[in-house]
């Protein structure tokens, strides 16, 4: 299932975004901006994890040569993240950016974007207008008659109107906040105000892994379930690969896209006669190296056995010190507790 079919489709390198294309998974590089090899190594890891578009910060003009090196060698399209200096945005386009991310409110105002629009149009690359609660346009920030979601959505819509009035239409919009419901309400407004503009969704500054995953899954899950969002980044204070794994897990949970294994495991109870938590963790660890959209069930007893997990491709229902391995609800073998994980992996290889 793709993003919103009514949006204009833009292309980030060879990646289609919007216009019914699949919801695209993004992340942002965290390596030093003056180290091309460190950034390229991180991109390789992200590509292996399933990232489709990467973004790189360019803090100053002196980092543009490294950015150019990264763009030239990267297997993924690279987005230039630029703040405060329109000249850096122009340099990033020349260096080979596949897309720009700018906030007109902090790059010198709308007039300062005109040379950027012309250069991006000539290069054939899209621009993401990124509006955040922490860097809202002063004219809207001062208004007491609007809620924060209304301020964010109206500010982003104004920028889109200006870009389009000047003949630039390859636009993506984001308007993020760290508060989940502010983010949700903002994107609902944007989906109505800008029905033809692809939306990049995310909860910004969501926090470290545990909190960040919960905030991102709740907010982005609501939006994606409502059909809002053409591309996403799950922002975590963690390694970028963790963001990508989380994004694919979320998309799979909503039946939008599948790439990775899904582990089905029951909440253990007094009927369980094996060390189910250890078993489930070991299976999860072994599955982490598998890029295959299979469902694997680890069930603690016969109550939650093959019947409860009949839709799993492979699974085990545990008894006292043993388990029965099943495929699509049909038992295929019985093994000792110590052999359960290896038996599951063997059956997976034969699928």
Adjacent-strand bridge partners of 171: 127
Closest by Cα among 121, 14, 164 to 76: 14
Average pLDDT for consecutive 10-residue bins of the chain (351 residues)? Answer: 77 95 96 96 96 96 96 97 92 96 83 93 95 77 87 93 96 92 95 96 84 93 96 93 94 91 78 78 84 83 65 82 82 85 84 76
Residue with tokens 């390198």: 13
Angstrom distance (rounded) from CA 145 to CA 166 = 29
Question: Within 13 Å of residue 30, how many CA atoms lie on the same side as its CB?
Answer: 12
Angstrom distance (rounded) from CA 124 to CA 170 = 8
Largest distance between two CA atoms of the chain? 72
Instruction: Give me the pLDDT at residue 106, please.
Output: 80
Evaluate whether 20 touches 2 at the Cβ level (below 8 Å). yes
Angstrom distance (rounded) from CA 274 to CA 271 = 9
Evaluate whether 277 touches 288 at the Cβ level (below 8 Å). no
Angstrom distance (rounded) from CA 165 to CA 227 = 28
- DSSP H helices in the chain: 36-49, 64-73, 86-95, 110-123, 138-141, 148-165, 180-193, 209-225, 240-253, 276-287, 340-349
Integer angstrom CA distances of residue 346 from 298, 311, 351:
15, 19, 9
DSSP collapsed to 3 states, 116-134? HHHHHHHHCCCEEEEEEHH
What are the structure tokens assigned to 84, written together?
Answer: 């405060």
Evaluate whether 171 touches 129 at the Cβ level (below 8 Å). yes
Instruction: Give me the pLDDT at residue 230, please.
Output: 96
Angstrom distance (rounded) from CA 292 to CA 279 = 20
Angstrom distance (rounded) from CA 144 to CA 295 = 50
Adjacent-strand bridge partners of 80: 56, 100
Angstrom distance (rounded) from CA 48 to CA 296 = 21
Can you list the domains of the chain with their CATH numbers?
10-253 (3.20.20.20), 262-349 (3.30.413.10)
């Amino acid at each position: 299932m793709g993003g919103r079919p009514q949006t204009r489709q833009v292309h980030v390198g060879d990646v289609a975004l919007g216009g019914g294309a699949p919801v695209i998974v993004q992340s942002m590089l965290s390596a030093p901006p003056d180290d091309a090899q460190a950034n390229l190594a991180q991109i390789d890891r992200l590509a292996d994890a399933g990232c489709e578009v990467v973004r790189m910060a360019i803090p100053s003009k002196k980092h543009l040569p490294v950015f150019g090196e990264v763009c030239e060698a990267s297997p993924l399209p690279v987005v230039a993240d630029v703040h405060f200096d329109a000249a850096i945005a122009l340099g990033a386009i020349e260096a080979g950016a596949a897309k720009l991310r700018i906030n007109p409110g902090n790059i010198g105002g709308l007039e300062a974007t005109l040379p950027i629009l012309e250069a991006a149009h000539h290069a054939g690359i899209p621009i993401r207008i990124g509006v955040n609660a922490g860097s809202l346009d002063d004219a809207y920030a001062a208004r007491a008659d609007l809620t924060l979601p209304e301020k964010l959505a109206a500010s982003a819509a104004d920028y889109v109107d200006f870009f389009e009035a000047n003949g630039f239409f390859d636009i993506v919009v984001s308007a993020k906040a760290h508060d989940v419901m502010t983010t949700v309400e903002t994107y609902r407004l944007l989906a109505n105000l800008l029905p033809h503009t692809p939306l990049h969704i995310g909860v910004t500054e969501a926090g470290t892994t545990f909190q960040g995953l919960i905030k991102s899954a709740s907010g982005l899950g609501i939006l994606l379930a409502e059909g809002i969002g053409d591309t996403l980044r799950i922002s975590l204070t963690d390694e970028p690969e963790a963001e990508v794994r989380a994004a694919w897990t979320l998309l799979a949970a909503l039946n939008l896209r599948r790439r990775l294994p899904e582990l089905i495991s029951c909440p253990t109870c007094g009927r369980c006669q094996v060390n189910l938590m250890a078993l489930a963790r070991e299976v999860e660890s072994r599955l982490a190296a598998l890029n295959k959209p299979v469902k694997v069930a680890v069930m603690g007893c016969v109550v939650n056995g093959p019947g409860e997990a009949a839709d799993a491709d492979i699974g085990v229902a545990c008894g006292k010190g043993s388990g029965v391995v099943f495929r699509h609800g049909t038992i295929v073998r019985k093994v000792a507790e110590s052999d359960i994980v290896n038996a599951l992996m063997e059956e997976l290889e034969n699928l």
